[in-house]
Structure 1
């Protein structure tokens, strides 16, 4: 008896998805909870697994097809054995492929043709291993030049190949994923639909680094292996600053301003498929250890594509850290409908004037991008100065002063 394999139930904010990758083919045996297909939405890639041991009987939605919430994508037969008509292996397929034509249809790269002429090798005798039977430099290098045949005199290359540089000029065209398209749409909306400005400041990281050095071992031991990082302290500092400047924590809804009485802080995480922003709900009530543990968990699951849509929905403020990739300074872009985003950057030692003396200090540039329609320059600057003051004197975070 066949069972329908359905797409996951999408939340109201997600209209549809598309089939990204089929991990199994028709007639192939699968085990319970083994991944069958990835469904890509605007926000996340969802994995559909086998409900039991059996065989994938029929694929109803091919890769690239659009699917709706709970729509059937395949038929599954529980307990059945693998069909003998399963797709042939790659080795069998390779043996079934016809040999490349050796006449006018000969395909050879310019670099391979030049090498063949220098070695005295007839390209007609070669078998191409490149795409579509293309003869590459490696194919020529593997062939032995005839001993009795002298190398031909140098002849001018064909006119069509004169301007082509040596080596293969490979191009690859792939469709943009739904996630990447959605990211592009949101970034374009943010740049065109907001009055975005960025203000900068710099913060002395030495007090925080000294505190981390002093307590990191005790912190890790006390909190069951949770490491003390900088992100947790920045989240705590941001929550305190958001309480003092409610407009930075607000959003615009049509002609209304929505002031949020809570701090849901998004932490930007980079993955192979694009940037995602999981949310720390009620971050102001979370302990430092809880924040660090949650950020680490989000990072690991984001890279494995295991984040749920609900974990990336909402948020009143965002923090992004380009410093982990070496960025010294940047202008982060807003994450609508939020009206502000804080950008952290690389910690760089620089000579600084302190009480009339030059000291080498670990400094970090901070950037706050904000929507000028709602947030005045004065509030934005003072918000960023508050972050700076709290980071340079971490005790103030605990004392809320």
Structure 2
């Protein structure tokens, strides 16, 4: 009996994924542990390994295909010696509910044409002759904007040439047309989760200003003592690295904030795992610094940079971005003074830091100039009340303004 290969759930929030690429082709021998495909989840592109051995007899869902539901059949394996005919029933069962239909609107009697019965299908619901595709590519014409005049609404060369003529006679029309693209899997899940957070979590916000005089002095002192090692990257401590460490130490001091909400229970985490927001072209991901309160600044700094590199290259492992008990996000590098971030469910809070800027301040009746950074704490009022949040933020400010206290 054929072995079904299903779309796996590669993260706790994944309900569907983007089948990016098959790394094995029909007829290939597959062994347990062989990487057979690449799938884009809500967080990253990840490799899928086979758990069975056999011949890849049939690929049900071609690549690339978006929005493939978890546990949907995507391919079939046959064991050695098993007849190819055994896959026919499975193929019919797998294709029917999942492959989209194309509606032929070229006549009044609406006819459903299964996409696996038509050559050259361009997802979603677009198909064209090879010559039409070639001409469209050469002329820069978007096939999605055309209506086919061929059999079953298929786009043919004449349709592309007609579109070219129309564009030539009215060049400004194309410029005025809005362009759109489907949401990536990551952007789709970001939309769902942040909407859920903002609509279901009672957010409240606290703001505080921190004097960075001592923090900047510590940073400069550490960086001046770092010696380059041949063959190794020369990483320097950043303000953000120290901010992450200060947040971790404040969480250690106030474990009630190091918690998550789970319906009828509040879970108090036993480790301080700080998630750090990293911006990608297709969205946002939050790799995690585990046991951040126990790491030295240099170790923490190196880990932050390595995780950011892996995030941007799409090579993060699932355990490197799933979970976390608190999040730090920073827009200071763009000159943003302050902002209020949305809580990363199911965490209790998120810390947003802005740019450090020179301000005139008064200290004991004396006018002075100092580098001041504005910080905002977004809290889930179901877990953290106002007094607890204020005490936590004061402890964080204390560490920022006196970083030597973190060593005690």
Scaled by the length of structure 2, the TM-score of the pair is 0.67
Instruction: Give how far 1:308 is off.
Output: 1.8
The whole-number CA distance in structure 1 between the counterparts of 2:361 and 2:165 is 60
1:278 and 2:287 equivalent?
Answer: yes
Partner of 1:378: 387
Which residue pairs with 1:320 in the alignment? 329
State the partner residue of 1:209: 216
Q: Verify the 8 A CA contact 1:251 1:316 in the aligned structure 2.
A: yes
Distance 2:275 2:361 in 1: 32
User: Take 1:215 and 1:279, find their aligned partners in 2: how far apart are those partners?
Assistant: 24
Counterpart Cα distance in 1 of 2:18 and 2:174: 36
Asked whether the 8 Å contact 1:23–1:37 carries over to 2, the reply is yes
1:169 maps to 2:169? no
2:356 to 323, 347, 354: 347
SS in 1 for 2:347: coil
1:133 aligns with 2:164: yes
Which of 185, 195, 200 is the equivalent residue of 2:192? 185
Which whole-Å deviations, capped at 9, do the CAs of 1:145-177 have from their partners, x for residues lacking one? xxxxxxxxxxxxxxxx9xx97882242222212
Equivalent residue, structure 1, for 2:18 = 19
Check whether the contact 2:10–2:41 (CA below 8 A) recurs between aligned residues: no
Equivalents in 2 of 1:206, 1:254: separation in Å?
Answer: 43
Contact 1:264 1:283 in 2 (8 A): yes
User: Which of these residues, 246, 249, 262, is aligned with residue 255 of structure 2?
Assistant: 246
What RMSD over aligned residues (CA atoms) do the two structures have, in Å?
4.1
- Give the C-alpha shift of residue 302 in structure 1: 0.8
Matches of 1:165 and 1:96, distance apart in 2? 24
Give the match's secondary structure for 1:248.
coil
Aligned to 1:66: 68
2: CA distance between counterparts of 1:16 and 1:335? 19
Alignment match of 1:199 (pick from 201, 206, 223)? 206
* Contact 2:135–2:160 (Cα < 8 Å) also in 1: no
Distance 1:397 1:7, change over 3 A: farther
In 2, distance between residues paired with 1:316 and 1:306? Answer: 22
Q: Any idea what SS the aligned residue of 1:168 has?
A: helix
Moved more, 317-326 or 5-14: 5-14
Kindly state the Cα deviation for residue 257 of structure 1 after the two structures are TM-superposed.
2.2
Give 1:237 shift.
1.2
Structure with max Cα Rg = 1
Deviation at 1:17, TM superposition (A): 3.6
CA distance in 2, matches of 1:174, 1:37: 24
Q: Which structure 1 segments of 5+ residues have no match?
A: 28-34, 51-55, 76-86, 101-106, 108-127, 141-160
* Deviation (angstroms), 1:322: 1.5
- 2:197 is paired with a residue whose SS is helix
Question: How do residues 117-132 of structure 1 correspond to structure 2 at under 5 angstroms?
Answer: 132=163
Match of 2:317 in 1: 308
Number of residues of Structure 1 aligned to a counterpart in Structure 2:
327
- CA distance in structure 1 between the partners assigned to 2:134 and 2:381 by the alignment: 65
Distance 2:179 2:241 in 1: 41
CA distance in 2, matches of 1:300, 1:130: 46
Give the alignment's TM-score, normalised by structure 1. Answer: 0.68
Cα distance in 1, alignment partners of residues 132 and 336 from structure 2: 46
